[in-house]
């Protein structure tokens, strides 16, 4: 199999790249070369900015692929560019959409690929829906061989997956835990969430590559394990060797008093209970099973970050904001009790 990945070094794509390299597949990565230092041997690089369509067209002139996958397309114009570049050059075009495109709020917490797409809270999700609609139109009218993949919350060893954090990542939350400071959990922490280790995602994705039954299909790839946010934070605190000091705050309140995108990231995503039905994926990839249990995966992630100081990006602005929010809640409770 000869494959081309647009991107190939992100949280999701890096695990797929690694696994394909281990299998000896012929893999090309088209990217700007800024994160290629740790690529496995055998991976070929086409160094270019995908947004420079003329340059890319020259570089891939005469090339044909079994699979082309775009991991970094977010708006329809980028898919229109991909169609111009790869129509007639690939047997399968795979687009990474998002499970956040599913109906929000859900009418049924159990999500299948037939769940309606609608997210009034998050522009990111609405753009992904528009991307899907463009590709489906090309499949129906032009025979463009698409497969749409919807990941949910996928993580690796480089970042602790959390619900509420600042623009510089999630380390500051872990640092607050280590310092015995209270940490914010959105809502009451009892809503169910699904996190998928990128190595498990890679198994499902590779099973869809070159799969004739996946052409024209939309498939989500997630773990079958659902846990509460309280459990997620407890596991992280345990991995850090500290006791969790949690403060539960309404997602709507967090959105109202933050400059971060909590409207999209929380109200349009993580504040909602989600349980994924992976029956379709398992029909298409019969041997798929997610084997990294969340508590084990999170502990490995925490251990890796503790051993790599370069991954410990501090965020004083977010830290101060957390203190301010918690102080405001304490003041409100005191004011009500004083009446």
Tokens 């970042």 correspond to what residue? 159
Confidence of residue 163 (pLDDT cuts 50, 70, 90): very high
Residue 193's pLDDT is 97
Q: 214-269 pLDDT, tens per residue?
A: 999 999 999 999 999 999 999 999 999 999 999 999 999 999 998 788 999 999 99
Confidence of residue 34 (pLDDT cuts 50, 70, 90): confident
Q: Is the dihedral of CA 112, 116, 120, 123 positive or negative?
A: positive
Domain with CATH 3.40.50.720 in the chain: 2-155+196-221
Class (C level, CATH) for 2-155+196-221: alpha beta
Residue 56's pLDDT is 96
Measured distance between the N- and C-terminal CA atoms of the chain, rounded to whole angstroms: 72
At the topology level, CATH places domain 171-194+227-272+293-338 in UDP-galactose 4-epimerase; domain 1 (3.90.25)
Residue 35 has pLDDT above 80, yes or no: no
Residue 263's pLDDT is 93
- Total length of the chain: 339
CA gap 216, 159 in Å, rounded: 33
CA gap 116, 97 in Å, rounded: 14
Name, in order, each residue with C-beta under 8 angstroms of 198's C-beta and a sequence gap of 6 or more. Answer: 11, 12, 14, 15, 154, 155, 156
334 phi-psi bin (left φ>0, alpha ψ -120 to 50, beta other): alpha
Q: 92-151 pLDDT, tens per residue?
A: 999 999 999 999 988 888 999 999 999 999 999 999 999 999 999 999 999 999 999 999
| 20 close to 3: Cβ distance less than 8 angstroms | yes
| 59 close to 88: Cβ distance less than 8 angstroms | no
Cβ atoms within 10 Å, residue 34:
8
The pLDDT mean for the chain works out to 96
Instruction: Retrieve residue 283's tokens.
Output: 């029909």
Exposed / middle / buried, residue 231 (Cβ in 10 Å: 0-12, 13-18, 19+): middle
Tokens 């394990």 correspond to what residue? 225
Domain with CATH 3.90.25 in the chain: 171-194+227-272+293-338
pTM, two decimals, is 0.95
Taking Cα atoms as reference points, which of 174, 310, 322, 291 lies closest to residue 223? 291
Between helix 171-178 and helix 316-338 the angle, nearest 10°, is 60
Chain-centre distance for alpha carbon 247: 26
């Amino acid at each position: 199999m000869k494959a081309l990945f647009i991107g190939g070094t992100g949280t999701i794509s890096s695990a797929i790249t690694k696994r394909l390299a281990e299998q000896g597949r012929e893999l090309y990565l088209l990217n700007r070369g800024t994160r290629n230092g740790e690529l496995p041997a055998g991976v070929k690089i086409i160094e270019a900015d995908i947004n420079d369509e003329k340059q890319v067209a020259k570089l891939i002139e005469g090339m044909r692929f079994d699979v082309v996958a775009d991991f970094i397309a977010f708006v329809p114009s980028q898919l229109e560019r991909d169609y111009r570049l790869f129509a007639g050059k690939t047997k399968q075009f795979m687009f990474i959409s998002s499970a956040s495109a599913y109906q929000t709020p859900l009418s049924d917490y159990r999500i299948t690929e037939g769940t309606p797409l609608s997210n009034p809270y998050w522009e990111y999700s609405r753009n992904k829906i528009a991307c899907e609609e463009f590709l489906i139109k090309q499949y129906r009218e032009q025979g463009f061989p698409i497969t749409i993949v919807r990941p949910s919350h996928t993580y690796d060893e480089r970042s602790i997956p959390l619900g509420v954090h600042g623009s510089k990542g999630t380390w500051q939350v872990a640092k607050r835990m280590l310092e015995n400071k209270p940490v914010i959990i959105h809502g009451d922490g009892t809503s169910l969430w699904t996190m998928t280790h990128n190595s498990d995602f890679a198994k499902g994705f590779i099973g869809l590559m070159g799969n004739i039954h996946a052409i024209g299909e939309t498939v989500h790839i997630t773990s079958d394990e659902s846990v509460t946010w309280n459990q997620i934070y407890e596991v992280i605190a345990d991995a850090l060797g500290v006791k969790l000091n949690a403060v539960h705050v309404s997602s709507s309140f967090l959105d109202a008093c933050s400059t971060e995108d909590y409207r999209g990231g929380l109200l349009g995503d993580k504040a909602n209970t989600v349980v994924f039905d992976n029956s379709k994926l398992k029909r298409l990839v019969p041997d798929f099973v997610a084997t990294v249990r969340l508590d084990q995966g999170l502990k490995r992630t925490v251990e890796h970050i503790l051993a790599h100081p370069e991954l410990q990006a501090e965020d004083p602005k977010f830290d101060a904001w957390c203190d301010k929010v918690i102080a405001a809640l304490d003041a409100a409770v005191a004011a009500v009790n004083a009446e």
